[in-house]
Structure 1
Amino acid sequence: MEALPNKSVYFSLLEIKRPNTSRLVKLGCQPLRRNARVSLRTSTCVCEDPSHSSTIIKKYDRHPQNVDLPPILPKNKKKPYAVPLKKMQRVARQDKKLAQMGMEKPLDPPKNGLLVPELIPVAYEVLEHWKVLIRGLSQLLQVVTVYGCSKCPEIHVGPVGHNIQDCSGTGSERRRSHHSWVKGSINDVLVPIESYHLFDPFGRRIKHETRFDYDRIPAVVELCIQAGIDIPEYPSRRRTTPVRMLGKKVIDHGGPVEEPKPYRSEDCISLLAELDTYETLKAQSPVPSDTRRLAERTLKAYSSVRSGVRRLMRKYTVKACGYCSEVHVGPWGHNAKLCGAFKHQWRDGKHGWQDATIDEVIPPNYVWHLRDPDGPPLTSALKRFYGKAPAVVELCVQAGAEIPDSYRPMMRLDIVVPDTDEARFVA
């Protein structure tokens, strides 16, 4: 109940609950009388279905109307930690205290080298959806055009490149920040993130001199292998006894196990044709007969891969460099000196390992959302009215797939894009 200043009326909101009836909301007004006990009230009753109202509220809470565009992280700073720094320091102090007391660190699967049985089916589902995603994108690229800038990482999904002047690559001053568009590929849409394959993640670390002794495979595939998938071309050690650790030192590896001999390169190449985007570039994909159904299936596979990888990363450790895009699947990072990002000279080329996020394992690679592919290209003057979406989502949407509700706020579909002459009148 709130009184309005300099006015002799006030508004009240009452709620009356009755069994087996709809909710009644009374909106009314009555005059204010000083030193009076009785007052007259005129009310207006509005009936509303509570189920319809609650459905709208829940839908709004789950997906807001609009969200900010993803920020561009500066290259001269380290990435933010996925785990709060104080929490990591507290865990480190506890481990150090146990080590000083001579007590082993308590480890649960998979931190002790054993598998998590309930996550093995999840790993198989992720790998199958990963194959569907790669195969679907390679076919959709025969229908939808993708452009990439030859001077910067920017890409655009559409018949022609956009005219937004935000290029920061080489020679951008001479081009007035216009992009230099060239034909894109599947690696521009689904950014390849690779990791070293390890037979024993708790074994010896990869050194800079021995880095060529290990295969590089997609990080998603390596995560699925360590989660329980058996691929003959990429064997992995399955322990029956847990690993024992004292502080940061492994005191019991479970006994020595001889690593099997590597498979022939022909077998690995045939397998990577389904699991790796680089091998997909060499093969010519057929033109899909039903583009819309293929786009729906590809978009569903993309969502399933991200949700499955997110579940696996809650248990299995994945490390990412805080300065570059390197990712390593395992309890600790490798020692290969390959980092060339910010202040790499101070670190002698070593990576700054920290806990990885889902966007570092599967980068979304946001692109500008194109509402009308047949309309005029996007311009810098109307940049603030445009939305963004992951490249895979934008590709599938332009191929005929329905826009998922989780990506609608960032696409800004409810914002009316004005003409160039009208933009200066918009507040």
Structure 2
Amino acid sequence: MHRRILSEIYSVKKSISDRISIRTLISGGGVEVDDGDPLYTDVPRPLRKKSQRKPYQTPMKVLVQRAKQEREARKANPCRRLEESPDNGLLVPELIEVAHRVFRAKESLLLGISKLLHFVPVLRCRHCFEVHIGKTGHEIRTCTGPNSGFRSSKHEWRKGRASDVIYFPKCFHLHDRVLKPRVIHDERRATKRIPAILELCIQAGLNIEKYPTKRRTKPVYNIEGRIVDFEPETNNEEDNSFEKVESLIGTIDSNEEEDDQEVISVSTLASWNEMLLGTKKLMEKYKVHTCGYCPEVQVGPKGHKVRMCKSSKHQSRDGLHAWQEATMDDLVVPNYVWHVVNHRDVRPLDNNLKRFYGKAPAAVELCVQNGAPIPEEYRSMMRVDVVRPGRDEVDLVA
């Protein structure tokens, strides 16, 4: 009798766990499950420890095969002119306008975020980098700052800024990305550091007076593995693209001042999507590298040689970075935050119900709480279709 009851209880628990695993309510890691919904994406969580290296975007076998092919092509033709852009030093014509759109979208996004902070505040933990969008900080115990064990991993919230919503890592600005693709350690103080997404736009065709870069009209040559430029030094006249961008941003600013909260949030979310779409197109042609152990990024054919890595195993590399192919999240850090279904509810999120809460990039969550519709690509991640039990039903949850 008891065995039959226990077997029935076990079968019920197994069916419940199978149902939960289908929706991936508990386990994370960006899992995509096809259970009737198109590409159900779970809440992204860190897949590695700090001591582990980031996963390669391209398999190592493919990288080794490419290196062998390049070496064989170099031996077969030691002196050749590079024809493919941007490796030959020329711009990709169809991506010049994309670079301008990405820059305009980035500036419009920052402008919209600064306006939306007047309606919905941003909170940041005093001890870690956790960010929350809303008037009341959550009670989910995920703090990893100093002495977090004495606080039971609880956060201590303070008022945040626009830089806490979205973060653009910086990299070294390259004046000549072909002949001088690397910054050595002794040049670290003399070389400017700018946001990596801005450096990507500059290398793709955006001209800014403060950050000059060399533009070529003829492709370079590859002689026994070394890049040689036979084009004479000329002072190329810069176009007025930067002034046009600034004037356009000024018109956007003046027009949006008359709009309400919902209109600003919708336009800000559109700028976010346009920036990500354009950045993805640029990264398909222009190389971006990141360190395998730390958040450092560098836009260009190669990573720099500045000995500034302080992550795991940096002693064996003498402080040099372990460069590899970067992803979109390395260039534009999404900064995922907990999703609040009803932002007018002043009650904080309960730690016992954290497996029912979804997440979203901080910029998307800020726009949604200000009235923008939830984008389709983030609905699954924000767990909109998950029914959340009440606080008095926490003990009844299996």
The TM-score with structure 1 as length reference comes to: 0.76
User: 1:327 Cα shift?
Assistant: 1.0
Query: Does the 8 Å CA contact 1:142/1:287 hold for their aligned counterparts?
Result: no
Query: Does the 8 Å CA contact 2:43/2:358 hold for their aligned counterparts?
Result: yes
Residue 68, structure 1, aligned to residue 42, structure 2: yes
The secondary structure found in structure 1 opposite 2:380 is: helix
User: 1:250 Cα shift?
Assistant: 2.3
The equivalent residue for 2:385 is: 414
Q: Deviations over 1:342-376 (max 9, x none)?
A: 11112111111111111110011110000112322
CA distance in 1, matches of 2:234, 2:298: 23
The equivalent residue for 2:208 is: 231
User: 1:296-311 to 2 correspondence within 5 Å?
Assistant: 296-311=266-281
The secondary structure found in structure 2 opposite 1:213 is: coil
User: 1:19-418 to 2 correspondence within 5 Å?
Assistant: 63-64=38-39, 66-72=40-46, 73-103=48-78, 108-204=84-180, 205-245=182-222, 249-255=225-231, 257=233, 290-375=260-345, 376-418=347-389
Query: With CA pairs under 8 Å and 6+ residues apart, which has the higher RCO, 1 or 2?
Result: 2
User: 1:422 Cα shift?
Assistant: 2.2
Query: Does the 8 Å CA contact 1:194/1:219 hold for their aligned counterparts?
Result: yes
CA distance in 2, matches of 1:197, 1:256: 23
Q: Deviations over 1:309-335 (max 9, x none)?
A: 000100111111111111111100111
Q: Deviations over 1:60-80 (max 9, x none)?
A: 98844x422102142111111
Amino acid at match of 1:125: R
Give the structure with higher Rg (CA): 1
Query: Does the 8 Å CA contact 2:168/2:331 hold for their aligned counterparts?
Result: no
CA distance in 2, matches of 1:374, 1:201: 50
User: 1:226 Cα shift?
Assistant: 0.6
Query: Does the 8 Å CA contact 2:87/2:178 hold for their aligned counterparts?
Result: no
The secondary structure found in structure 2 opposite 1:298 is: helix
User: 1:182 Cα shift?
Assistant: 1.5
Q: Which runs of 4+ in 1 moved over 6 A?
A: none
Query: Does the 8 Å CA contact 1:389/1:407 hold for their aligned counterparts?
Result: yes
CA distance in 1, matches of 2:322, 2:177: 19
User: 1:287 Cα shift?
Assistant: 8.1
The secondary structure found in structure 2 opposite 1:108 is: coil
User: 1:194 Cα shift?
Assistant: 1.1
The secondary structure found in structure 2 opposite 1:217 is: strand
The secondary structure found in structure 2 opposite 1:173 is: helix
CA distance in 2, matches of 1:61, 1:405: 15
CA distance in 1, matches of 2:223, 2:395: 65
CA distance in 1, matches of 2:217, 2:37: 43
CA distance in 2, matches of 1:223, 1:154: 28
CA distance in 2, matches of 1:259, 1:364: 39
Distance 1:295 1:360, change over 3 A: same
CA distance in 1, matches of 2:292, 2:364: 27
Matched residue count: 347
Query: Does the 8 Å CA contact 1:138/1:186 hold for their aligned counterparts?
Result: yes
The TM-score with structure 2 as length reference comes to: 0.81
The secondary structure found in structure 2 opposite 1:410 is: coil
Question: What is the Cα-based RMSD across aligned positions, in Å?
Answer: 2.5
Q: Deviations over 1:38-68 (max 9, x none)?
A: xxxxxxxxxxxxxxxxxxxxxx98844x422
Q: Deviations over 1:4-49 (max 9, x none)?
A: xxxxxxxxxxxxxxxxxxxxxxxxxxxxxxxxxxxxxxxxxxxxxx
Gaps of 5+ in 2: 1-34, 237-241, 250-255
Query: Does the 8 Å CA contact 2:124/2:130 hold for their aligned counterparts?
Result: yes
The equivalent residue for 2:239 is: none
Gaps of 5+ in 1: 1-59, 261-266, 275-285
User: 1:337 Cα shift?
Assistant: 0.9
Q: Deviations over 1:183-234 (max 9, x none)?
A: 1111111113112111101233211111111111111111111111111221
The secondary structure found in structure 2 opposite 1:239 is: coil
Structure with the higher helix share, 1 or 2: 2
Amino acid at match of 1:115: L
Distance 1:104 1:419, change over 3 A: farther
Query: Does the 8 Å CA contact 2:178/2:227 hold for their aligned counterparts?
Result: no
CA distance in 1, matches of 2:98, 2:262: 27
User: 1:243 Cα shift?
Assistant: 2.4
User: 1:300 Cα shift?
Assistant: 0.3
